Amino acid sequence: MLYRTLGENRICITQPTHAWVSGQLAQAWGNELFGAIAPHQEVCLGAEQHDVGWVPWEAAPTLNPDTGYPHSFNEVAPEVHTQLWAGAKHLAMPMGRYAALLVSLHGTGLYERFTHWKQSPESTRIVEAFLQQEKTFQQALIHRLEQDPAYAPHVAPDAIARNQRLVATLDALSLAMCMGITQQRQFEQVPAATGEMALTLTPIDNDPTQLSVEPWCFQPNQVTVVFEGRILDEKFTDELTMRDRLAHAPWVTLTATLHPAK
């Protein structure tokens, strides 16, 4: 769950919905400066499904008593989110092996980049066990993909690193766009045709639904993404009540349009 402000209310946007935006961005991604995606459809699918492990939790979100709202994705405890990430690869695997590999790599990459879980011995134990389990899965899956001529070129270390970083970039862009970009934002280490670059997103006329992108990283000369959320106009003290109100909360459809910087 992530949030966007709407006056005094919150728009609740699920993790799979935000990942859908990542997939929409992936389908439009790539040009002479930023190179092509390969394998294209598999990476787009991996980007779109990178948060598939959150589906069970989003169906019955837990209440954060400190805020009165469902826990946001960064408020969920390690013992919970490691289980969600551990299950993600199994939910993704029926869609395809390469997408499942990227989903798993995205999960481990998050824990490797954001290490606040090291603050306690118990969370450290939980996450390190998860990382070991996932890496064993990844190594076995890479070995199988190496035997398939269709995928062998795409599981070379450089290819995997690029695609993992690309999914992470699309994840970061989508999170920012779903929550609403109200001031200039820079995104580092974006895979380009050669090496990496930084992207800058700036709201046009202070409108978070109209964003300029510099340098331009997409194929078409304009990209519009669409996503949905539900409006919560109250806080809660009871988890079951919160779930019921959320299930019946009004929907809102949101868009964001990306333009090349002038």
Rg of the chain over Cα atoms, rounded to whole angstroms, equals: 19
d(CA 196, CA 204): 25
Question: How high is the mean pLDDT of the chain?
Answer: 96
208-249 per-position pLDDT tens digit: 999 999 999 999 999 999 999 999 999 999 999 999 999 999
Query: Which among 139, 128, 140, 258 has a CA at the least distance from the CA of 199?
Result: 258
In the chain, the amino acid numbered 116 is H
CB within 8 Å of 159: residues ≥ 6 apart? 38, 153
Which distant-in-sequence residues (6+ apart) come within 8 Å of 146 by Cβ?
A: 152, 155
pLDDT of amino acid 119: 87
Q: Judge whether 216 and 243 are in contact, CB under 8 Å.
A: no
Per cent of the chain over pLDDT 70 is 100
What pTM was estimated for this model as a whole? 0.96
CA contacts within 13 A on the Cβ side of 261: 11
Whether a cis peptide bond, with omega within 30° of 0, leads into 39 is: yes
Q: Which two tokens stand for residue 193?
A: 């045709």
Q: How confident is the model over 8-43, as pLDDT tens digits? A: 889 999 999 999 999 999 999 999 999 999 999 999
Task: Kindly report, residue by residue over 74-130, the tens digit of the pLDDT.
Answer: 999 999 999 999 999 999 999 999 999 999 999 999 999 998 888 899 999 999 999
